Amino acid sequence: MSSAAPAGQVETPQLGDVERFHFLRFAWSELRAIMREPRGALAVSVLVLLLFFAFIFPLLDPTDPNQPGDGPKNGDISWDNPMGTDHLSRDLLARNSIGLGRTIKHGFVAVLVGWVIGIVIGYTAGWRGGRTDTLIMRGVDVLLAFPGIIFAILLITILGSGIFSVAVAIAFFNIPGSARLARAGVLRERERDYVLAGRCLGLSGARILFRHVAPNTFGAFTVQVPLAIVASVLIMAALNFLGLGAELPDPTLGAIMQEGRPFMRDAPHFVIGPVVILALMLTSLNFLSDVLTERLDPVRRRRV
């Protein structure tokens, strides 16, 4: 039994648990709806398996991905080496697992940082308008003028080679698109009646923006983030393939493909492994984005 509030004080209802429960129930219902779609079920299942391979499998397999083994160089697929060995007799299963984990971890964090910065910039430009909007968006246009891979190479040249430099380049690559998307959402929502009502009630601009306008723009972000991860993973793999990513012998998917390029004829399994992993991840993220588009589009959305 809850204790009564002291005399002269009004008991404030605690809604945190209720709001959390409603959010979890909504997330669970959306996940079930996505899983009812064949593409959604396939995408979620493959992504879960890839996450297991990237983060749980290394805990179960004690093989050192950088330690040469006793087997043959460029060894074929076998029971001891399910994905074969590389030119230094290192286990490719362990190297692909660690490489996938590094790609997901650094790529996701870089996309998240880039999108947070871009969304804040876009919100500020769209809400303030006027000269602030013009100045900010011209700066965004300057970033868009450079091809993503060229701009990434420029940043890595300035910062030096390494996985941190690649992450910074990926973060900058995601700022322009997220900023323009956030600005478009704010420009659409700031003319709604609820914004005018909030101003009439004396609410501050920041409160209206972040408590009321921002949640109504999240749908577009949900659809675009998987596509942004796809583009970022491709750029990260390309940079690692060019030798601008993590320093050897630390494995990444792009670096494994670069190491296996001279041996594609004699040991095709060297390159097939990371290529198949990248193809599965990128295809699953594209399927997930398509399903989310249908879920959020009021015209195409199906009743589930």
0.85 cut: is pTM over it? no
CATH code of the domain in which 303 resides: 1.10.3720.10
Asked if residue 304 has pLDDT above 60, the reply is no
Q: What is the pLDDT of residues 166-195, one digit of tens each?
A: 888 888 888 988 999 999 888 888 888 888
> Domain range spanning residue 111?
99-304
Q: What is the pLDDT of residue 14?
A: 45
Q: What is the pLDDT of residue 246?
A: 67
Which residues have CB under 8 Å from 162's CB, separation 6+? 245, 246, 247
Handedness of CA 159, 162, 165, 166 (dihedral sign): positive
Q: What is the pLDDT of residue 121?
A: 92
Name the band, by pLDDT with cuts 50, 70 and 90, for residue 50: very high
Q: What is the pLDDT of residues 204-224, one digit of tens each?
A: 877 888 888 888 887 778 778
Q: What is the pLDDT of residue 300?
A: 53
Which residues have CB under 8 Å from 188's CB, separation 6+? 217
Q: What is the pLDDT of residue 24?
A: 66
The mean pLDDT value for 28-45 works out to 82
Q: What is the pLDDT of residue 270?
A: 87
Q: Is residue 278 part of a domain?
A: yes
**By the 8 A CB rule, do 273 and 256 touch?**
yes
Q: Is residue 170 part of a domain?
A: yes
Asked if residue 10 has pLDDT above 50, the reply is no
Of the chain, the end-to-end C-alpha distance in Å amounts to 40
Q: Is residue 36 part of a domain?
A: no
Name the band, by pLDDT with cuts 50, 70 and 90, for residue 48: very high
Asked if residue 198 has pLDDT above 90, the reply is no
Q: Is residue 163 part of a domain?
A: yes
Weakest mean pLDDT among 16-25, 208-217, 237-246, 255-264: 16-25
Mean pLDDT over each residue of the chain, to the nearest integer: 81
More confident of the two residues 304 and 31: 31
Share of the chain above pLDDT 70, in %: 87
The mean pLDDT value for 82-92 works out to 86
Q: Is residue 52 part of a domain?
A: no
Q: Which residues of 160-174 are buried (b: 16+ CB within 10 A; e: fewer)?
A: eeebebbbbbbbbbb
Q: What is the pLDDT of residue 155?
A: 82
Q: Is residue 92 part of a domain?
A: no
Q: Is residue 22 part of a domain?
A: no
- How far is residue 236's CA from residue 216's CA, in Å, rounded to a whole number? 31
Asked if residue 52 has pLDDT above 90, the reply is yes
Q: Is residue 200 part of a domain?
A: yes
Q: Which of 285, 229, 236 is nearest to 114 (CA)?
A: 229
Total domain count for the chain?
Answer: 1
Asked if residue 117 has pLDDT above 90, the reply is yes
8-state DSSP, 43: H
Asked if residue 154 has pLDDT above 50, the reply is yes
